[in-house]
Structure 1
Amino acid sequence: MNKIKVNSWQESIHVVNNKILTRFSLEKAFNQFILELKPLVTEPEVKIIVQFKVVLESGLIRTISRMQTITNNDYKILLDIFKEYWSIKTEEYHLVAIQKVIFTYKIVHSKFPSRLSPVVKPKPSFSFKGYDIPNTMDLTQWGEYKFSPNYHSAIIKKYKSKAYYSVVLKDREQLVELKINDKILLSFIDKMSNNNDLSSFTRELHEHTYIFREGNLILKQKNIKNIKYLTKVIGASHISYKFVAMDLETRAINGIITPYALSIYDGKDKISFYLSDYPTSDEMLIAAISSLLRKKYDQYKVYIHNFSHFDSVFMIKVLSNMNLNILPLIRDGRIIDLKLSWKKYSIYMRDSYLLLPSSLAKLTNNFQVESKGIFPYQFVNNSNIPLDYRGSVPNKEFYPDITNEQYDSIINTTSTWDLRTETIKYCEQDVVTLYQVIAKFSEQIFILFRIDVLKYPTLPLLAFGIYRNNFMGDAKIPLIHGEMYDFLVQGYTGGSVDVYKPSGNNIYRYDVNSLYPFVMKTSPMPIGNISYFEGDITQINPQSFGIFEVEVTAPQNLHIPILQLRMHTQKGIHTVAPIGDWKGVYFSEEIKNAKIHGYTFKVIRGYTFDKGFIFKDYVDFLYKLKVNSDKTSPDYTIAKLLLNSLYGRMGMSPYKEHHVLVSNKEALNIISKFEVSNVIDFKNGKELVSFFDHSGKDNLNISVAISLAVTAMAKVHTSQFKTMKDITLFYSDTDSIDIDKPLPIKFIGNELGKMKLEHIFDETVFLAPKVYVGRTIT
């Protein structure tokens, strides 16, 4: 004990770098103090009395903590207490430089009573950017106050601070400025919520809104600024016929698919290419593409049906060998547009199936144009059949979907069947048919909507363009990207498909009539102004409209869950309908519906929107067109296609893949710098590389909130049928149910959203989602 200075006050002094005392620098000073102290306190029979002080830039010393008496086992607790004291004093010394930290201490004998004095906190305060602001509108609790004679204003001096509040008093609100020496540090407005409770109020501070109840902050809101909104497009002044139709015929020999014929039609002239005229199929394709690399075809669209799924693989490989600038647009693994440039000219190769998603045979009937020919596709897959085959007509088994009468007609009218002649005839008929379908489709779209189809490579893009030109009106549809998109997309799930019972008898299958168009027409969509909030907004406004992150508890004994959740699993992201407790993101209207069925929620945070019925005119026009058109007419097909193609376009991801055709060396450079999603090696020194470049922003015309709301309201609509009493549910798809008895008549009809009876199964077995078999009565 000889080295210990018992009952003698000592100081441990620590210089503060940059004269800013943070929690980190306080902890650093404290740890240095303990290192100094430990050699002096090696025996258990001593205690330490400690007090935390600071030296201001002026040289004045200010006491921060109360005196603490500890043992050498209490260092961590002491640090936490000092940090808490400093957090309380931070605002008071916010604008004051701190030169030094001082720990004044005295070592005493162990009989001295221990005393740890935690912070005695003042009334709860509210902190904004380092400033502590009272949690009440009662000015008498803010500090030393003085009201004007007419009580229209007040000055309140903050406790232990040079700062003061200048307040203008109005009927139910007060305008506040926090000042030092007439310099305004902060200004805000407090508005009363309750005449009898000054601790329940709303505070508007900058772009934020804070709502207090009995002095507790229960909700924080911030208006989102600089929102960009979807703009209208200008319709076309005339219809364009700058397109050609192309078709490839292929054969599969030993598992290898090879093009052996190709035809092109530009509305006037047909030209065909046959493999026996060229050394290889690649050279045949090069000759065909080269025939289009002419000034007269500048800016032309080249349509190939099913190009993105099938023929594109052959085509891109060939194109990589040509002296062309190639710019592919690929989405979800499908080629949307392939721009080929030479000199100052360009053509664009597109998949007509993405614009008209149906087989060419069906499209000929829908648009009432020349029919496809009949051809024995499987006949050419025999390696023993030469391309110059001339002989008897191939057997009927090689002709798909041919009647006996049709086959007999071919036999009776053909003396010698020529493979080259028949292939070219069939291929040329296909390109003429495809051209006529696209031309008629384009003409009708132009008549109805004044839109040029050639500007839109896919049906969803076309529907989007039609909406923006003809039906959007003054709707303020926000474009959503970045953090907001990342949050909202968690709640964007598609339809649900579930098996509830494996088999049954006398099962009634009902479909909803145009489910998505129905909810688009009848449901308000999230548009307009957007606010972000933290807290349970439903405590303030139970009818709040938006998309919220919530803690969910499903009801006990739940048989048919109606809420979905996207879950990350080892096999990727899966959508499930959970029970129990979980956290998820949901549309407010889906939450309200789930509450009816016994779910409970605690709202954590989210976004609120204005609401509007933005699709009514679009749906009404197309549905009326569909109802009033013959099912074999182009108008019927157009209406049916467009009704279901709009909402999904708005839910696209803003994180766009980039696609480049580069050399092997350039591909390695891209792989080393970017997140690469796919590489196709054409084995000729060229690779098609797909990658994400996260250094920039891919701002697209998208609004995932709209798509999320549409799918959510579809689930709300179908939930009423899934949860009906006295009905047993066997199976459900996005817009259909299989149940054990007829639905009440009030739900049945031809109107949008009504149910229609599709089948009555005498016996049925449900093996898995989308996998079932049934024997129908009707």
Structure 2
Amino acid sequence: MVEYYFTEENVTTSDFAEKSKMVLESFLSRIGDIAIKFKSPLTVYLHNLSRFDGLLLLDYMRKSWGKRGNVKMMDRNHHIYEIKVRASGRRVLFRFKDSMLMLKGSLDSLSKNLCPELGYKGSIDSLKVNQDTLSNMKEDLRKYLKQDVLLLGGVMQKLQGLIWDEYGVDIECKLTLPSFAMLLFRMKFLDADKWHIYKASGDEDTFIRSGYYGGHVDIFIPFGKNLYYYDLNSLYPFVMRDSPMPVGTPVWHSNLSEMDLDSIFGFLEAVVNCPRNIKRPFLPFRKRKDSTLIFPTGKFRGVYFSEELKYARTLGYTVVPIEGYLFEKSEGSPLEDYVRSLSENRIIAKQKGNTAMSYIYKLLMNSLYGRFGISPECTTSEICDDAQRKYLVDNCDKLLYSEAFDENLFIVGYRINAYSTKEKWRPLPNSAVQISAAVTAYARILLYPHISRDDCYYTDTDSVVLGQPLPYDEGSSSEIGKLKLEDRIEKEWFESQYVDPSRKLNVNVDNNFALDWRSFAVQKKTTTYKLGINPEAKRDLIYDDKGLWVDTSPIHVELDDDTALGDGKSRQIVQALMDNINDLMDQINKLNRKLLDIKEEREMTKQEEGREITNKGSGMTKVEEEREIPMQEF
């Protein structure tokens, strides 16, 4: 339901602080009066509850509704997901949720996609709103706020109705769209008897997560004109649909050195060597100093998905597997039915002109992959009494702060799964980092042929900027897994930054609604940001004779044995394998040279035989021919 209630009409005081308090009290009392009529908890959506409205409400509710247990907050990494309010009988009376966690984007954009018939959102210059201007702006503010409520209600009701009609599931049962996508996948599409998607333990998750890399982002050539910007349609859903996934219970192997890489499927630690002649290296490597993700040449050690190591080997990499978790390789993909159904339904919705449903299908299709890889380590806060505070201080993984929140109440901030032992490990429901890590690895494989082109200027996860257009049959504006021409770049890149890549600019940004999580205060704050680029952190820069940045080359990594190869016996084993592989590569190169020599000799023999046959036809012997040539030249 959508209801308007102007709380200020019931406020008589002229004191601004007291008036604000009475407005909030009237607002919460009104919601309580409505909620008490329902048997089930009433859900109230606020757009951006997690980063703004939630703190304002909690700051007030801690003072007026702060009896132990009446107000319960759920937050993760400084985002409020839900605030529950309980009645005296412990029943949940109502709960605030963040609509932005279900539908990311501005309310203006969402309403245009889902309920354009409700009109435009409009705007108010918040900088002009203050105590002195409130009276004069009263009618404009009322009109703006009423439209805000109408659009938010329209958006959430439209989403709820469409999802219920299509799948018979209520969106109120989940807090975020990725978690709802996971519910939908498991309820409607996952064949649990056929596919066992394993939930990793602490050690397993930590190892596999170290091989979970994002997309490839790099500047290769800093300057260009008339360039072509391509985006790969639904990159992650495409590889989710068409690629085999790691399923079943993983098995740890402490020595993979004697196993054929082609027989391995899973996540393994390996030492790799990328030749210097590869201009656009394929495998990622995380710098230990600052965790920057680079794509270097040289020798380094890391955890990778087996399929990207196999692909790297075809490019000329040397790969030495060490240890890792091996999974079953699915026949087909457990995610195929989910992606295929949403993709096909989206096409049908587009053909019928159903923009709203097409938009929802797209959101659901792109929301599932990340939920598998959600990090188990997170920051959370708890409002509690002194006994619970003492328990958390003594038992939480990593204490961040513990401060008085109000009379007899405290707020404690801490990290979950920070240094967890098996006893303390708290896995998140339905997480499976191996799925997300495999998806991103397959995506990098799919895009690499375009990244490796000499005319690739730039890449970012699912897009490339090229100097020449792709052949017609390689592109499509709608087919998933195909590149779509997004734009033509007519002007030069980085026009001011290009002349001096090291140029930095300090900019002060005023935030009128900065959040302080310890005090739950919203206040004005000025923050200084340093703007600029740091391309040398990712690749080495190449300059011309005039000192102008013209190109880049990959960073070359040569780690010492202690860092690259581990300790003790493992270092000796890996070094011996590397030496053996290098010897084999030398032998292969020698054999290739011999084969090339033999091929050239055979070609020369064929040519000589052909000339002899021709000369026989003219009656001239080979000796006579050889004598005749210099005489003619002389």
With normalisation by structure 2, the TM-score equals 0.69
Matches within 5 A, 1:295-310: 295-297=36-38, 298-310=40-52
Shift in Å, 1:496 = 2.1
Does residue 692 in structure 1 map to residue 412 in structure 2?
Answer: no
Does the CA contact (< 8 Å) of 2:77 and 2:378 recur in 1? no
Residue 357 of structure 1, aligned match among 101, 104, 108: 104
Match of 2:91 in 1: 345
Q: Which residue of 1 aligns with 2:271?
A: 551
1:720 maps to which residue? 449
SS of residue paired to 1:502: coil
Corresponding position: 1:603 with 2:321: yes
Match of 1:702 among 431, 436, 444: 431
Matched, 1:646 2:368: yes
Other-structure match for 1:432: 150
Distance 2:336 2:457 in 1: 34
| Post-superposition offset of 1:554 | 1.0
Percent identical across equivalent pairs? 29
Contact 2:224 2:492 (8 Å CA) reproduced: yes
Alpha-carbon distance in 2 for matches of 1:544, 1:524: 13
Query: Which is strand-richer, 1 or 2?
Result: 1
The corresponding residue for 1:328 is 73
**1:671-690 alignment, distance < 5 Å:** 671=393, 673-676=395-398, 678-679=400-401, 684-685=406-407, 686-690=409-413
Which residue is equivalent to 1:461? 179
The whole-number CA distance in structure 1 between the counterparts of 2:226 and 2:490 is 5
619-628 or 535-544: bigger deviation: 535-544
1:272 aligns with 2:272: no
Residue 477 and residue 564 in structure 1: after superposition, are their counterparts in 2 closer, same or farther (change >3 A)?
same
Q: Does 2:122 align with 1:388?
A: no
Q: Secondary structure at the match of 1:508?
A: strand
Which amino acid is the alignment partner of residue 217 of structure 2? V
After TM superposition, give the deviation of residue 741 of structure 1 in Å.
Answer: 0.8
Tell me the equivalent position of 2:24.
285
- The alpha-carbon deviation at position 672 of structure 1 amounts to 5.4
CA displacement at 1:687 relative to structure 2: 4.6
Contact 2:389 2:402 in 1 (8 A): no
Pick aligned residue for 2:138 from 420, 424, 431? 420
1:738 aligns with 2:485: no
CA distance in 1, matches of 2:532, 2:215: 12
Aligned 8 A contact 1:355 1:458 in 2: yes
Aligned equivalents of 1:488, 1:497: Cα separation in 2: 22
Change in 2 beyond 3 A, CA 1:616/1:339? same
Residues 687 and 282 of structure 1: is their aligned pair in 2 closer, same or farther, counting only changes over 3 Å?
A: farther
TM-superposed CA distance for 1:537, in Å, is: 5.9
Distance 1:506 1:434 in 2: 42
Quote the Cα distance in structure 2 between the aligned partners of 1:538 and 1:712.
Answer: 24
Q: One-letter code of the match for 2:491?
A: E
Q: For residue 667 of structure 1, report the CA deviation from its aligned partner.
A: 4.9
- Counterpart of 2:239 in structure 1 is 519
Whichever residue aligns with residue 337 of structure 1, its letter is: E
Given the superposition, is the C-alpha separation of residues 771 and 446 from structure 1 closer, same or farther in structure 2, using an over 3 Å criterion?
A: farther
The structure 1 residue matched to 2:298, chosen from 572, 580, 585, is 580
Correspondence for 2:489 among 761, 765, 768: 761
Deviation per CA, 1:194-221: give whole Å up to 9, x if none: xxxxxxxxxxxxxxxxxxxxxxxxxxxx
Q: Say whether the 8 Å CA contact 1:527–1:610 is kept in structure 2.
A: yes
Matches within 5 A, 1:493-508: 493-508=213-228
Distance 1:290 1:702, change over 3 A: same
| More contact order relative to length (CA 8 Å, sep ≥ 6) | 2
Aligned partner of 1:313 among 48, 55, 72: 55
Shift of 1:382: 4.8
What letter is aligned with 1:370?
Answer: L
1:729 CA displacement: 1.6
How many residues of Structure 1 are paired with residues of Structure 2 in the alignment?
A: 472
Which one of 367, 376, 387 corresponds to residue 124 of structure 2? 376
Per-residue CA shift, 1:410-457, capped at 9, x if unaligned? xxxxxxxxx333322321222122112111111111111121111011
In the TM superposition, 1:157-176 aligns within 5 A as none
Shift, 1:296, TM fit: 2.2
Q: CA deviation at 1:367?
A: 1.6
Matching residue of 2:338:
618
Q: Distance in 1 between matches of 2:120 and 2:45?
A: 16
Taking the aligned partners of 1:681 and 1:314, their CA distance within structure 2 comes to: 18
* Cα distance in structure 1, aligned partners of 2:456 and 2:302: 26
**Alignment partners' CA distance in 1, 2:388 and 2:200:** 33
Contact 1:550 / 1:585 at 8 angstroms: preserved in 2?
yes
Q: Distance in 2 between matches of 1:678 and 1:432?
A: 40
Q: Does structure 2 conserve the Cα–Cα contact (< 8 Å) formed by 1:507 and 1:764?
A: no
Contact 2:124–2:144 (CA under 8 A) maintained in structure 1: no
3-state SS in 1 of match to 2:493? strand
Give the secondary-structure state (helix, strand or coil) at the position aligned to 1:646. Answer: helix
8 Å Cα contact 1:497-1:770 kept in structure 2: no
Q: Which residue number corresponds to residue 39 of structure 1?
A: none
SS of the residue aligned with 1:438? helix
For 1:323, the aligned partner's letter is G
Alpha-carbon spacing, 1:273–1:356, altered in 2? closer, same or farther (3 Å): same
* RMSD between superposed Cα atoms in Å: 2.7
The Cα shift of 1:300 comes to: 1.5
Helix, strand or coil at the partner of 1:652: coil
Q: How far did residue 506 of structure 1 move? A: 1.7
What's the counterpart of residue 628 of structure 2?
A: none
Q: Does 1:751 align with 2:479?
A: yes
> Following TM superposition, by how much is the alpha carbon of 1:655 offset from its aligned partner in structure 2, in angstroms?
3.6
Offset from partner CA, 1:627-667 (integer Å, 9 cap, x none): 22237621111111011100110111234544311368965
CA pair 277-538 structure 1, distance change in 2 beyond 3 A? farther
Please list, as runs of the form range in 1=range in 2, the aligned pairs for 1:535-550 lying within 5 A after superposition.
Answer: 535-536=255-256, 539-540=259-260, 542-550=262-270
* 1:521 alignment partner, SS class: helix
Q: Quick one: structure 1 residues 314 and 605, their matched pair in 2 at CA, closer, same or farther if it must change by over 3 Å?
A: same
Asked if 1 retains the 8 angstrom alpha-carbon contact of 2:208 and 2:267, the reply is yes
1:528 and 1:610 in contact (8 A); partners too = yes
Question: What 5-or-longer segments of structure 1 have no aligned partner?
Answer: 1-265, 390-418, 773-778
Higher alpha-carbon Rg: 1
